[in-house]
Amino acid sequence: MPKSDNAAVLAIDGREVRISNPDKPYFSRDVHLSKLEVVQYYLSVAGGAIGGIRDRPIVLKRFVNGAEGEAFYQKRAPENRPDWLRTVTLSFPSGRTAEEVVVDDAAGLAWVVNLGCLELHPHAVRTADLDHPDELRIDLDPGPGVGWEDVRRVTLIAREVLSDVGLRGWPKTSGSRGMHINVRIEHRWTFTEVRRAALALSREVERRAPELATSKWWKEERHGVFLDYNQNAKDRTTCSAYSIRPLPDARVSAPLGWDEIADCRPEDFTVLTMPERFASIGDPHATMDDYVGSLEALLALADRDEAAGLGDAPWPPHFQKMDGEAPRVAPSRAKKAGAKRAAKSPAGGRARASKMPLLTIANSTNKAEAIAGLERWKAKYPEAASHLAVDDVLVDSMRGRSSTWTRIRVNLRHVPEAIRPPQETPDPDDDPTRQWRESMKNR
């Protein structure tokens, strides 16, 4: 591993990969890891990590200043790239296209990690067929205050539903507070059909555990563990197996066997512990490609839901309105609009409309600054803040065209109307997509 120009050059399977600024700190809180040590972690588990991304286009989520810095998304492959690195051209719901990186081996893995890609974000398709996913993705996202035990219980219920429709799931920790289940499927269905199957599965899990699980898209309606069916929409990605998450302890998304679910803890799987685990037991998901299933039973369940009056659920905001989709507006806003329409008296006057119970408190590209804004709001309105339940504070990680930011809102449903604060200019108010959204609106 010679060093030149403040870089380390790694020889990997006959190829040379240059690691720039190898000593740059990438983690400096609970653990201390340099950029080179992050690359070395990925190489130590490359046999498993490549299994989750091989032959798939990937979105580059780059933490160029390490885990404590802000990330940005890069869909287009860098122009300055090795000639041995594959790319493929994807089309998106917006009509745009992008040439994206495809990683097939350890050298390619080290190359993208050198760009600052702590997390690996592959699409659910293979390069030979970019319109038909080969993977159904179940993303279990716990709400505020929801414990890990409930996440595990919902994960096992999801396994029961999958078994009942003839599918085999492969669980892994998300690397944060949630769980993912990946399911190999035949290359027969479009993204829309795969998403429809995921929605039917989410609703069935909710029926079996209504106190624990929810399929509701709007955060103000959720409770417990949310099953995010929209992760199966085209152009959506989730972090793949062995991905490092930007948490202080450098935990990772850990593939598991089903017999491990009952006793596992997400904090047990980190950059420091996974190499030994991988060397000892190998990749629990190594045979995933041998179990390819059909979505026919799930789509039949979707048919039954629709016959019973359950139509489509909301899509992500940047998708066009779909046939049969419910109004794409948060219930609190719909309620406010309805109240205004109904507020006119027969004489033409207006009654007092009820206040919207959801307030936006902070928008910031820096999560810590957004949380500081929340604390300032609580100090300004201590009486109202005293009525908030844990899940009344909604901390959203927002993803724009190429950047992420944090939005914090509070739900005033438990706050007496007489003391509800008004909507004020968020503090801070840094939404990096505002200018773009305004320009799109004016076109």
Backbone angles phi, psi at 89, to 5 degrees: -95, 120
User: Which residue did the predictor score with more confidence, 419 or 355?
Assistant: 419
User: Which residue did the predictor score with more confidence, 322 or 401?
Assistant: 322
Backbone angles phi, psi at 231, to 5 degrees: -65, -10
With contact defined as beta carbons under 8 Å apart, do 103 and 117 qualify? no
Q: What's the whole-model pTM score?
A: 0.81
Retrieve residue 262's tokens.
């009952």
The pLDDT of residue 42 is: 98
Spatial CA neighbour of 221 closest among 317, 146, 331: 331
User: Which residue did the predictor score with more confidence, 284 or 384?
Assistant: 284
Whether residue 348 is predicted with pLDDT greater than 60 in this model: the reply is no
With contact defined as beta carbons under 8 Å apart, do 198 and 191 qualify? no
Percent of the chain whose predicted confidence (pLDDT) is above 90 = 74
399-433 pLDDT, tens per residue? 665 667 889 999 998 899 999 999 999 999 987 76
The pLDDT of residue 401 is: 58
112-149 pLDDT, tens per residue? 999 999 999 999 999 999 999 999 999 999 998 899 99
Is residue 436 situated within a structural domain?
A: yes
- 46 Cβ contact partners less than 8 Å away, ≥ 6 residues apart: 106, 109
Please give the Cα distance from 228 to 241 (Å, whole number): 18
With contact defined as beta carbons under 8 Å apart, do 99 and 89 qualify? yes
Q: Which pLDDT band holds residue 355 (cuts at 50, 70, 90)?
A: very low
Retrieve residue 417's tokens.
């109307």
Is residue 156 situated within a structural domain?
A: no
Q: Where are the alpha helices (DSSP H) in 253-308?
A: 274-281, 296-307
Is residue 384 situated within a structural domain?
A: yes
With contact defined as beta carbons under 8 Å apart, do 31 and 270 qualify? yes
The pLDDT of residue 218 is: 85
| Largest Cα–Cα separation, the chain | 85
Whether residue 354 is predicted with pLDDT greater than 50 in this model: the reply is no
Is residue 46 situated within a structural domain?
A: no
76-116 pLDDT, tens per residue? 999 999 999 999 999 988 788 999 999 999 999 999 999 99
What 3-state DSSP class applies to 443? coil
The residue type at 157: I
Paired strand residues for 364: 406
Whether residue 3 is predicted with pLDDT greater than 80 in this model: the reply is no
Instruction: Name the burial class of residue 144, with classes exposed (0-12), middle (13-18) and buried (19+) by CB atoms within 10 angstroms of its CB.
Output: middle
Q: Which pLDDT band holds residue 319 (cuts at 50, 70, 90)?
A: confident
Whether residue 53 is predicted with pLDDT greater than 70 in this model: the reply is yes
What 3-state DSSP class applies to 128? coil
258-315 pLDDT, tens per residue? 999 999 999 999 999 999 999 999 999 999 999 999 999 999 999 999 999 999 999 9
Retrieve residue 433's tokens.
């997509």
DSSP code, position 324:
T
Please give the Cα distance from 376 to 361 (Å, whole number): 10
The pLDDT of residue 365 is: 84
Is residue 400 situated within a structural domain?
A: yes
The pLDDT of residue 289 is: 96
Is residue 390 situated within a structural domain?
A: yes
Whether residue 346 is predicted with pLDDT greater than 90 in this model: the reply is no
Provide mean pLDDT across the span 54-80: 95
- 53 Cβ contact partners less than 8 Å away, ≥ 6 residues apart: 103, 109, 120, 122, 240
With contact defined as beta carbons under 8 Å apart, do 34 and 43 qualify? no
Domain limits at 416? 354-442
Q: Total domain count for the chain?
A: 1
> What is the residue-averaged pLDDT of the chain?
90
Is residue 213 situated within a structural domain?
A: no
167-181 pLDDT, tens per residue? 999 999 999 999 999
The pLDDT of residue 390 is: 79
Is residue 185 situated within a structural domain?
A: no
